Amino acid sequence: MIRVAAVGDVHMDADVLGRYRPALEHLPSKADVLLLAGDLTRHGTTEEAECVAREFADLGVPVITVLGNHDYHSDQVEGVVKVLKNAGIQVLECAGTVLELPGGRLGVAGTKGFGGGFAGRCASEFGEPEMKAFVRHTRQTAERFGQALRSLEADWVIALTHYAPVPDTLLGEPPEIYPFLGSYQLGQAIDSAPTALAIHGHAHCGTERGTTPGGVRVRNVAQPVIRQAYSVFQLS
């Protein structure tokens, strides 16, 4: 059995330091790994990334993350990633990693993902160059993410994204903004591999539970949704 802790949308800054740390200090007794589902910062600055590093580094378990849209806002992505990596936090973008844990080999593939919407109510790669570029980015990201998932050789595989792969976990959000909260292509990528669990954030007003068309359980771990320092999932 592998125990997976996960949270997203912690939006760290100096005034948030210490909010999660008391619960995180006990993490090794509750989980084997911590996954962060993006939007680690408020505005994507390196200073905010330093706050993330202070809060989520040196926990006694591996910490793996993807970035979110907030983490891109200040165009300091390279610096943000460097700060996190220097703190021992692994950052994935259309890439995967395999952890040798006491309960078995855990594969995690991660991407920020992107918007575009869901089957029947989605944008298409047609028309103006701007629209085609928007949807093309979604499609290409999902394709690379699927390749990363399928390349993992592990006992269990987890898909880690910021944007949602299914509309189920968006219930509670205004339907008008669904195209900016996720895309069905991410769900297709997840279903293309033997994925045991899909974890995402981004939808603060959404719901926690969903399922891909292929039957993979999906969990929205945005902190405003789970309302705790992290949720724990068991793979067995």
pLDDT digits (tens, 9 = 90+) for 145-164: 999 999 999 999 999 999 99
Question: Please, which residues have CB within 8 angstroms of residue 42's CB and are 6 or more apart in sequence?
Answer: 11, 12, 13, 48, 70
Q: Does residue 41 have a pLDDT over 90?
A: yes
Full-model pTM: 0.97
| Angle subtended at Cα 92 by Cα 167 and Cα 5, rounded to the nearest 5 degrees | 65
Long-range contacts (CB closer than 8 Å, 24 or more residues apart) made by 124-128: none
The count of structural domains within the chain is 1
User: Is the pLDDT reported for residue 119 higher than 90?
Assistant: no
Query: Is the pLDDT score of 121 beyond 90?
Result: no
Q: Which domain holds residue 22?
A: 2-235
What type of residue is 54? R
Which residues are registered as beta bridge partners of 99? 106
- When the pLDDT of each residue in the chain is averaged and rounded to a whole number, the result is 97
d(CA 39, CA 11): 6
Query: What pLDDT does residue 156 have?
Result: 98
For range 115-123, the mean pLDDT: 90
pLDDT in tens, 56-101: 999 999 999 999 999 999 999 999 999 999 999 999 999 999 999 9
- What CATH code is carried by the domain that includes residue 125? 3.60.21.10
> What would the mean pLDDT of 207-234 be, rounded to a whole number?
98
7 touches 219 (CB < 8 A): no
* 67 vs 77: CA distance, rounded Å: 9
- Three-state DSSP at 154 gives coil
**Residue 122 pLDDT:** 86
Q: What is the pLDDT of residues 169-202, one digit of tens each?
A: 999 999 999 999 999 999 999 999 999 999 999 9
Report yes or no: 183 and 114 within 8 Å, Cβ to Cβ: yes
Q: Stretch 225-230: mean pLDDT, rounded?
A: 98
What is the pLDDT, as a whole number, of residue 168?
Answer: 97
User: Other C-beta atoms within 10 Å of 33: how many?
Assistant: 20
